[in-house]
């Protein structure tokens, strides 16, 4: 398994790439070129911005390491994110790119920074926020902490996982409705507190340019509580998928704070990169049945590869408890390269 004739590069990782050092730049070039009617590249940065931003509305800016496609860049568009700053694979984006994106997106109402709870992302976005404020921009930060795998009541230590999509959706709709920065920040905190996620994997992914998997799982085992490239909390022999879903739902409904989900929810069954849609829909079937037995109504459901981790085999389940405000925001229209939803009528 060598390189091409006349090329001594080692391609034994068997990924369809050129130079591993160029994967993010080449991915962004292909993405922006494909979706140029909806998005644009901010010159001199790895920031992708919506082609049109409504003057006077709050803008939503997210960011983080690449390798999770279609997240995060796939959700830049109307009613979702106004911009994403992409880092290298599983690497936080640089402060300068974030500052430039804030400046480009602030049309007078300010910018909400909406990121997952990872140390590098939090540090860099906080630094960028302070720099932008010194330059005269209004900016606020909300950290997503939807991961409940570890069972801790200290939400500040939880990772930001695929439930981020539900929070992006709510915040993007709130901003599109013309809410102030303070109000959009309130919606973000409320949506975060109402959202819980847990994942499971049967095989890990591999970072481009390396041959070592992100973590090891035996052929007959699964790992419960995985993140987007991070190992989980425990392993067990591979059971039927109905048993897996039941175990994940039990974690979700029993997580602190108790009773936080309520009787009506939005759900997301998210593929981690190498799980067929057939299997995701089988998991979705059990998820809805389990919740119905608990007296919980699924108001809106999403299934697919929303927030992956390279070619990890597995899936995550996210649940957002809904009140009337969050229900309206989840139902609102949105249009982006990888997610489009028409407005839901009365």
Known catalytic residues? 68, 228
SS3 316: strand
Contact between 47 and 84 under an 8 Å Cβ cutoff? The reply is yes
Strand ranges for the chain from DSSP E: 39-41, 47-50, 59-66, 83-89, 111-116, 139-144, 195-203, 221-224, 234-237, 264-271, 297-304, 313-321, 334-336, 339-341
Give the count of beta carbons closer than 10 Å to the beta carbon of residue 234. 10
Strand pairing category for 39-41 and 47-50: antiparallel
User: What is the sign of the dihedral through the CA atoms of 184, 189, 194 and 196?
Assistant: positive
> Do the beta carbons of residue 171 and residue 144 sit within 8 Å?
no
The closest of 120, 246, 255 to 195, measured between CA atoms, is 255
| Tokens matching residue 330 | 């989840």
Please tell me the number of Cα atoms within 13 Å of 110 on its side-chain side: 17
With H, G, I as helix, E, B as strand and everything else as coil, classify residue 170: helix
DSSP for 216-257, written as a single string = ---TTEEEET--SSS--SEEEE---HHHHHHHHHHHHHHSSS
284, two tokens: 């979705």
Percent of the chain that is helix, strand, coil (3-state, to 5): 35, 25, 40
């Amino acid at each position: 398994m060598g390189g091409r004739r006349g090329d001594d590069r080692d391609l034994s990782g068997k990924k369809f790439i050129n130079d591993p050092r160029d994967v993010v730049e080449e991915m962004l070039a292909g993405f922006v070129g494909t979706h140029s009617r909806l998005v644009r590249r901010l010159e001199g940065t790895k920031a992708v911005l919506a082609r049109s931003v409504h003057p006077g509305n709050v803008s939503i800016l997210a960011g983080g390491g690449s390798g999770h496609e279609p997240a995060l860049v796939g959700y830049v568009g109307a009613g979702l994110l106004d911009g994403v700053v992409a880092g290298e694979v599983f690497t936080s984006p640089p402060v300068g790119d974030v500052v430039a994106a804030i400046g480009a997106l602030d049309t007078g109402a300010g910018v909400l920074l909406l990121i997952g709870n990872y140390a590098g992302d939090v540090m860099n976005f906080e630094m960028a926020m302070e720099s932008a404020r010194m330059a005269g921009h209004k900016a606020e930060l909300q950290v997503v902490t939807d991961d409940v795998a570890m069972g801790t009541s200290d939400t500040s230590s939880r990772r930001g996982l695929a439930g981020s999509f539900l929070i992006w959706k709510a915040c993007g709709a709130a901003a599109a409705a013309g809410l102030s920065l303070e109000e959009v920040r309130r919606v973000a905190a409320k949506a975060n507190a109402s959202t819980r996620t847990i994942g499971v994997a049967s095989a890990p992914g591999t970072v481009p340019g390396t041959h070592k998997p992100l973590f090891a799982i035996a052929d007959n085992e699964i790992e419960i509580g995985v993140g987007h490239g991070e190992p989980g909390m425990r392993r067990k022999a591979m059971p039927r998928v109905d048993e897996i879903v039941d175990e994940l739902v039990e974690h979700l409904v029993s997580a602190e704070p108790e009773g936080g989900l309520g009787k009506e929810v939005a759900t997301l069954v998210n593929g981690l990169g190498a799980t067929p849609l057939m299997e995701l829909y089988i998991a979705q079937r059990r998820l809805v049945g389990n919740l119905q037995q608990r007296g919980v109504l699924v108001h809106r459901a999403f299934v697919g590869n929303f927030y992956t981790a390279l070619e990890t085999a597995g899936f995550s389940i996210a649940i957002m408890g809904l009140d009337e405000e969050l229900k309206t925001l989840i139902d609102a229209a949105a249009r982006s390269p990888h997610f489009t939803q028409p407005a839901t009528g009365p």
